[in-house]
Structure 1
Amino acid sequence: MYKIGTLNKISPVGLARLTDDYTITENVQEANSIILRSYNMHDMEFSPDLLAIGRAGAGVNNIPLDKCAQQGIVVFNAPGANANAVKELCLSGMFLAARNIPAGLEWAKTLAGTEDVGKAVEKGKGQFAGTEIKGKTLGVIGLGAIGAMVANAAESLGMDVIGYDPFLSIKAALSLSNTIKIVDSPKDLYPQCDYITIHVPANDNTKGMIDAAAFAQMKDGVVFLNFARDKLVNDADLLAAIGSGKVKKYVTDFPNDTVIGKEGVIALPHLGASSAEAEDNCAAMAVDQVMDYLENGNIVNSVNMPACSLGPKKGTRVSVISKADAGVLEKVAEVCDGDVINKVRGEYAYTLGEASGDIDGSAIAGEGVIRVRILK
């Protein structure tokens, strides 16, 4: 019986996928796996019993990936499960900015109790006149699951779309409309776009990438949308760009102390994945991946270990997390008479082996071996 702990509220649709071999525990220190959303795990101490963490969403900034790898804990995420929800909110953000909707809503509230509201509306509505997005140019930085969907949807609404992604996958490329222009550098995208939206992960290479130098290359009056991560934008440079008129509106799903309440900023309360459908999809995907790993040793969509799968377990299976140079493949091959697979990601390796009889896990242990599991 595997014990599953939860942090944050997890969709019942996802948890309902757990079979009778699983029980949910309130004590995460006894859990074999933890399912979570945005809970910050960086200060947590992990039990030796913890084998896997399932993030019901895409971003994993709240999980100490290196620490987990060092302790043989596989971390999964759910890429693409919330893509449609974020796409729809991003499109909403463009409309909010284009039509000056937030300011119009606030002004309309002030008319409560006014004599002849209809007349007041007709007299004052001109101050909120906006523009249409049809015929405008949208730049999409990052063409993964979300970026590609935004690009296609914007084009279907009559926008010209320019995309940039140095790591464009074959799957993403095939999903894009063939009339979307792809450029080799952001500097080829910035000057052409009336709207720019960013959809890249937050890491050491992308932190603060939207800075004064980037803003300087953009059109005057550009609308910049950030539904990815707040760390991608240099807030001080952003506010300076708004003040100079370079940026007309900044639409973000990540309010913080620097930008909240500032002129030109439309801040939403991190609603990107907050739809019933997205929460169900993310939880279901996280739960399925964790169960497949616990029961079969298969790793799909891990962010700290290599992808590695032998499909459903046929006999006895050995699962080994090790350092890449530990020489585990040979040891596993010696004790298995079935299929053996070994994959490497950075300094870590993952090895799966199958046997028709029992497997001696002690024969595999040694220097550089982090965790050995025998699955029957």
Structure 2
Amino acid sequence: MYSIKTMNHIAQAGLDVLPAGGFRVGAEVSDPDGILVRSASLHEMELNSNLRAIARAGAGTNNIPLDKCAQAGVVVFNTPGANANAVKELALAALLMASRNLVGGAAWVREQAAAGVDLSTAVEKGKSVFAGPEIMGKTLGVVGLGAIGVLVANAAYKLGMEVYGYDPYLSVETALRLDRHVHCVKDENELWEKADYITLHLPYSESTKDTINAGVLARTKPGVRVINLARGGLVNEAAMVEALNAGKVARYVTDFPSAGILAAPNVVALPHLGASTPESELNCAVMAAQSLKEYLENGNIVHSVNYPDVFMDRGDCARVCALHRNIPNMLLKLTTVLSEGGFNIEHMTNKARGEYAYTLIDVSGTVSEENLAALKAVEGVFRIRLIQE
């Protein structure tokens, strides 16, 4: 039986993926084999020796120490695309909020009503303050064409916008889902200079930190409208505040409020609502639990962020799972140990992701603790797992 610790509330549909006969699941679980998490930070948590996997019910994983986990032989999963529709819908709402001062107008009406003003007269006199342009015919720049960015780009085109997309890592699979009318640019400066609206849909990393900065804002059109529903660190706050105060940015819609950004004018700050729909929560929980279950039971990796995705059909053989550094001769060393142990290799697959690699080896016969110890002793190996049923 596998023990799974939940660090946040996980939708019941996700928990149902882990049947009671094979899994013990709960917040009280100690020394877990796996962890299910949403927003809880794991950076200060000690990784117990039995921990094999962490599944994040969501796309972002900046609350998880990825390299620390990789070097401990702990596979980290996320749920790409599970919340894509929820974020897409919020992005469309954000486009409208960035154009027309809906939030300010609604707040003003309440203020007038609370003051006892005749609304019918006040509304006609005051509504012009909250007017804004239509999005039809305007140019939208979508930065990041992953699962969410593609949906936003396609939907915006259908709403009558001219859409430009930029993603240096655009996959063939994603490109095939992109509407043919969306312009994919190779130079991001073309997008900055042409866009009336800019929306960010990319993960946060050291390379994407401050994607929107003073230099970028200097190249944008006067009165550009910016939307960030992806990660707070993608936008340099000081540069954005300066641009808002100067009127260079007409409105900024963000899902990551802070005291600093709220001090600037023309900001719509939301309380991190991007994936806050019951449908998204359910989808993320189910996908996270499925990835965790597949890895623990079969050793297959699907939707990992710190190891390569590797899948090999299970047969009747014992399965050796090796998490190791991506260095020369590793396969030779592993297979030599098995050969010297008298094992015949029935099936094998290996993939690498950066400095980390994963190898699955199906062998005939019973693998002993002595055999496992010999595999673990190979230099560069982080963890050896045996699935033998």
Scaled to the shorter chain, the TM-score interval is over 0.9
1:131 aligns with 2:143: no
Q: 8 Å contact 2:7–2:27 — kept in the other structure? A: no
Aligned length: 376
- Give the structure 2 partner of residue 80 of structure 1: 81
Q: Which is further off, 273-282 or 343-352?
A: 343-352
Q: Which is further off, 312-321 or 75-84?
A: 312-321
Residues 83-94 of structure 1: matches in 2 within 5 Å?
A: 83-94=84-95
Q: 8 Å contact 1:33–1:53 — kept in the other structure? A: yes
* Residue of 337, 344, 351 corresponding to 2:352: 344
- Give the structure 1 partner of residue 295 of structure 2: 293
- Give the structure 2 partner of residue 36 of structure 1: 37
Separation in structure 2 between the aligned mates of residue 276 and residue 356 of structure 1, nearest angstrom: 46
Structure 2 length normalisation: TM-score?
Answer: 0.93
Q: 8 Å contact 1:318–1:373 — kept in the other structure? A: yes
Q: CA deviation at 1:104?
A: 0.2
- Give the structure 2 partner of residue 146 of structure 1: 148
Separation in structure 1 between the aligned mates of residue 18 and residue 262 of structure 2, nearest angstrom: 41
- Give the structure 2 partner of residue 17 of structure 1: 17
The letter of the residue matching 1:156 is K
Residues 229-240 of structure 1: matches in 2 within 5 Å?
A: 229-240=231-242
Q: Secondary structure at the match of 1:23?
A: strand
Separation in structure 2 between the aligned mates of residue 282 and residue 155 of structure 1, nearest angstrom: 27
Superposed CA RMSD: 1.5
Q: CA deviation at 1:329?
A: 2.1
Q: 8 Å contact 1:296–1:313 — kept in the other structure? A: no
Separation in structure 2 between the aligned mates of residue 54 and residue 130 of structure 1, nearest angstrom: 43
Q: CA deviation at 1:154?
A: 0.3
Q: CA deviation at 1:298?
A: 0.5
Q: Secondary structure at the match of 1:75?
A: strand
Separation in structure 2 between the aligned mates of residue 93 and residue 12 of structure 1, nearest angstrom: 30
Q: 8 Å contact 1:326–1:368 — kept in the other structure? A: no
The letter of the residue matching 2:253 is V
Q: Secondary structure at the match of 1:66?
A: helix
- Give the structure 2 partner of residue 247 of structure 1: 249
Q: 8 Å contact 2:244–2:264 — kept in the other structure? A: no
Q: 8 Å contact 2:213–2:240 — kept in the other structure? A: yes
Separation in structure 2 between the aligned mates of residue 321 and residue 27 of structure 1, nearest angstrom: 28
- Give the structure 2 partner of residue 180 of structure 1: 182
Give unmatched runs, 5+ long, in structure 2.
none
Q: Cα 1:265–1:115, aligned 2, differ >3 Å: closer, same or farther?
A: closer
Separation in structure 1 between the aligned mates of residue 355 and residue 344 of structure 2, nearest angstrom: 24
Q: Secondary structure at the match of 1:127?
A: helix
Residues 346-361 of structure 1: matches in 2 within 5 Å?
A: 346-359=354-367, 360-361=371-372
Separation in structure 1 between the aligned mates of residue 43 and residue 302 of structure 2, nearest angstrom: 23
Q: Secondary structure at the match of 1:258?
A: helix
The letter of the residue matching 2:90 is L
Q: CA deviation at 1:179?
A: 0.9
- Give the structure 2 partner of residue 100 of structure 1: 101
The letter of the residue matching 2:284 is C
Q: Secondary structure at the match of 1:339?
A: strand
Q: Cα 1:28–1:259, aligned 2, differ >3 Å: closer, same or farther?
A: farther
Separation in structure 2 between the aligned mates of residue 313 and residue 8 of structure 1, nearest angstrom: 35
Q: CA deviation at 1:365?
A: 2.2
Separation in structure 2 between the aligned mates of residue 336 and residue 249 of structure 1, nearest angstrom: 65
Q: 8 Å contact 1:3–1:22 — kept in the other structure? A: yes
The letter of the residue matching 1:51 is R
Separation in structure 2 between the aligned mates of residue 137 and residue 48 of structure 1, nearest angstrom: 52
Q: CA deviation at 1:122?
A: 2.2
Q: 8 Å contact 1:252–1:268 — kept in the other structure? A: yes
Q: Deviations over 1:155-203 (max 9, x none)?
A: 0011110111111110111111101111111111112111001111111
The letter of the residue matching 2:7 is L
The letter of the residue matching 2:3 is K
1:370 aligns with 2:378: no
Give unmatched runs, 5+ long, in structure 1.
none
Q: 8 Å contact 1:28–1:34 — kept in the other structure? A: no
Q: CA deviation at 1:336?
A: 4.1
Separation in structure 1 between the aligned mates of residue 32 and residue 311 of structure 2, nearest angstrom: 24
The letter of the residue matching 2:15 is L
Q: Cα 1:248–1:348, aligned 2, differ >3 Å: closer, same or farther?
A: same
- Give the structure 1 partner of residue 309 of structure 2: 307
Q: Secondary structure at the match of 2:68?
A: helix
Q: Secondary structure at the match of 1:341?
A: strand
Separation in structure 2 between the aligned mates of residue 150 and residue 164 of structure 1, nearest angstrom: 13
The letter of the residue matching 1:364 is L
Separation in structure 1 between the aligned mates of residue 328 and residue 73 of structure 2, nearest angstrom: 14
Q: 8 Å contact 1:52–1:73 — kept in the other structure? A: yes
- Give the structure 1 partner of residue 160 of structure 2: 158
Q: Secondary structure at the match of 2:260?
A: coil
Q: CA deviation at 1:363?
A: 3.5
Separation in structure 1 between the aligned mates of residue 315 and residue 42 of structure 2, nearest angstrom: 31
- Give the structure 2 partner of residue 193 of structure 1: 195
Name the % identity.
Answer: 48
Q: CA deviation at 1:118?
A: 2.3
Q: 8 Å contact 1:147–1:199 — kept in the other structure? A: yes
Q: 8 Å contact 1:221–1:248 — kept in the other structure? A: yes
- Give the structure 2 partner of residue 2 of structure 1: 2
- Give the structure 2 partner of residue 69 of structure 1: 70
- Give the structure 2 partner of residue 322 of structure 1: 324
